């Protein structure tokens, strides 16, 4: 089945709203976080481990930066490549940068504590509600680290145009990487599941906006 441009906007938005409604309505965020915290002996025991902090958190951020620098380097050096390919790789890079920028601005404005800040998990803050402010004391919503993977949703739109056979595999890799990044942060106590879902939808929307005019060509290629 081929999705129209309207479908590409509509269905992810509906899925995000439905997921966040379920998570909030049934306290799934807290159920998952409670389980992780309890398994860690009433502590975020995996917060400082080599795997979660160094490999997945720091390494994941460096991987995303390396991808961005590699695309930029390719664009600078390969000046003779056909214009559509160069243009769409520029859109991939632009979508990634826009996604990260929007996520980070929202992290600052929403001022949401991380799980490890909450009294429920040994912190000092009683609630994890969104309160729009210019103070920016806490910066945990949406999930920043998950966006290091989801910001590359533009690669899916690129593949729809230039390599349609690989579009779903490309999407699967991005989503899987985002899940790994997000799960690592959840078990460290840095985010709730809802933070990751919101981040994924924001990144999808930003990349779709960047690629909006090109999706008609993807429609014909898929």
Residues whose CB falls within 8 Å of the CB of residue 145, separated by 6 or more in sequence, listed in order: 57, 60, 61, 181, 182, 184, 185, 190, 191
- The pLDDT of residue 193: 97
Structural domain span for residue 146: 5-221
Least confident of 52-56, 88-92, 137-141: 137-141
- Quick one: what percent of the chain has pLDDT higher than 70? 91
- The pLDDT of residue 135: 64
- The pLDDT of residue 81: 67
Q: In the predicted model, is pLDDT for residue 221 greater than 60?
A: no
Please tell me the distance from the alpha carbon of residue 68 to that of residue 106, in angstroms, as a whole number. Answer: 22
- Tens digits of residue pLDDT in 202-219: 999 999 999 988 876 655
Between the two ends of the chain, the Cα-to-Cα distance in Å is 9
Residue 9: count other Cβ atoms within 10 Å of its Cβ. 17
Please tell me the distance from the alpha carbon of residue 116 to that of residue 102, in angstroms, as a whole number. Answer: 24
Yes or no: say if 204 and 12 are a contact pair by the CB < 8 Å rule: yes
3-state SS, residue 187: helix
Which of these, 89, 196, 197, 212, lies nearest to 152 by C-alpha position? Answer: 89
Please tell me the distance from the alpha carbon of residue 88 to that of residue 202, in angstroms, as a whole number. Answer: 20
DSSP-H helix ranges across the chain: 5-25, 28-39, 59-77, 83-110, 144-150, 154-162, 167-188, 193-210, 215-221
Which of these, 96, 201, 215, 99, lies nearest to 157 by C-alpha position? Answer: 215
- The pLDDT of residue 57: 98
- How large is the average pLDDT for residues 149-154? 98
Average pLDDT, the chain: 92
* Assessment of whether the complete model's pTM goes beyond 0.85: yes
3-state SS, residue 82: coil
- Tokens matching residue 156: 């899916």
- How large is the average pLDDT for residues 65-76? 95
Q: In the predicted model, is pLDDT for residue 41 greater than 90?
A: yes
Q: How many domains does the chain have?
A: 1
- Tens digits of residue pLDDT in 92-138: 999 999 999 999 999 999 999 999 999 999 999 998 877 766 666 89
- The pLDDT of residue 213: 84
Yes or no: say if 205 and 12 are a contact pair by the CB < 8 Å rule: yes
- Tens digits of residue pLDDT in 179-194: 999 999 999 999 999 9
Q: In the predicted model, is pLDDT for residue 174 greater than 90?
A: yes
């Amino acid at each position: 089945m081929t999705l129209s441009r309207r479908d590409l906007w509509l269905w992810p938005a509906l899925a995000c709203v439905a997921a966040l409604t379920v998570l909030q309505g049934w306290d799934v965020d807290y159920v998952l976080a409670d389980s992780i915290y309890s398994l860690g002996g009433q502590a975020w025991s995996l917060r400082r481990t080599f795997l979660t902090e160094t490999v997945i958190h720091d390494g994941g951020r460096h991987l995303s930066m390396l991808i961005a620098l590699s695309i930029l380097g390719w664009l600078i050096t390969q000046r003779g490549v056909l214009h559509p390919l160069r243009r769409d790789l520029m859109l991939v890079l632009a979508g990634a940068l826009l996604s990260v920028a929007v996520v980070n601005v929202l992290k600052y404005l929403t001022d949401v504590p991380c799980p490890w800040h909450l009294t429920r998990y040994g912190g000092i803050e009683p609630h994890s509600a969104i309160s729009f402010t210019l103070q920016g004391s806490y910066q945990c919503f949406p999930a920043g680290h998950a966006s290091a993977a989801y910001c590359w949703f533009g690669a899916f739109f690129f593949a729809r145009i230039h390599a349609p056979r690989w579009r779903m595999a490309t999407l699967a890799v991005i989503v899987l990487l985002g899940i790994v990044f997000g799960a690592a942060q959840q078990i460290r106590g840095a985010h709730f599941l809802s933070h990751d879902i919101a981040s994924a939808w924001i990144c999808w929307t930003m990349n779709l906006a960047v690629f909006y005019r090109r999706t008609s060509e993807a429609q014909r290629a898929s």
